[in-house]
Amino acid sequence: MTTKAAVLRHATDSHPFAESSPLRVEEVTLDGPGPGEVLVRITAAGLCHSDLSVVNGDRPRPLPMVLGHEAAGVVEEVGAGVTEVAVGDRVVCSYVPSCGTCAECAGGHPVRCADAQAANREARLVSGRRPFRDATGAELHHHLGVSAFSELTVLSPRSLVPVPDEVPLDVAAVFGCAVLTGAGAVLNTAQVRPGEPVAVIGLGGVGISAVMAAALAGAHPVIAVDTVESKLASAKEVGATHGVLAGQSAADEIRDLTGGGVAAAIEAAGHPAALATAYAATKVGGRVVVAGLPHPKHTIDVPIAALVGEEKAILGSYMGSSVPRRDLPRLFDLYAAGLLRADALVTANHVPLDDINTALDRLHDGTEVRQIITPNG
Chain segment 88-115, per-residue pLDDT in tens: 999 999 999 999 899 999 999 999 999 9
Do you find a cis peptide bond into 64, omega within 30 degrees of 0?
yes
Query: What is the pLDDT at residue 300?
Result: 84
Query: What is the pLDDT at residue 301?
Result: 85
Mean pLDDT for the chain overall: 96
* 54 has a pLDDT exceeding 90: yes
Chain segment 199-247, per-residue pLDDT in tens: 999 999 999 999 999 999 999 999 999 999 999 999 999 999 999 999 9
Query: What is the pLDDT at residue 303?
Result: 86
**Element housing 353 (H / E):** none
Query: What is the pLDDT at residue 204?
Result: 93
Q: DSSP string of 93-114?
A: E-SS---SSSHHHHTT-GGG-H
Q: What is the pTM of this model?
A: 0.95
Beta-bridged to residue 4, according to DSSP, are 27
Query: What is the pLDDT at residue 339?
Result: 96
Query: What is the pLDDT at residue 366?
Result: 87
Sign of CA pseudo-dihedral 358, 360, 364, 368: positive
Query: What is the pLDDT at residue 377?
Result: 85
CB 106 within 8 A of CB 112: no
Q: How confident is the model at residue 373 (pLDDT cuts 50, 70, 90)?
A: very high
* 376 has a pLDDT exceeding 90: yes
Percent of the chain with pLDDT over 90: 93
Domains defined along the chain, listed by start: 2-177+322-374 (3.90.180.10), 191-316 (3.40.50.720)
Chain segment 248-298, per-residue pLDDT in tens: 999 999 999 999 999 999 999 999 999 999 999 999 999 999 999 888 888
CA distance linking residue 185 with residue 267, whole number of Å: 9
As a whole number, mean pLDDT of residues 51-66 equals: 95
* 344 has a pLDDT exceeding 90: yes
* 302 has a pLDDT exceeding 90: no
As a whole number, mean pLDDT of residues 183-194 equals: 98
Question: Under 8 Å CB-to-CB from 303, ≥6 apart: which residues?
Answer: none
Query: What is the pLDDT at residue 50?
Result: 93
Q: DSSP string of 33-84?
A: P-TT-EEEEEEEEEE-HHHHHHHTTSS---SSEE---EEEEEEEEE-TT--S
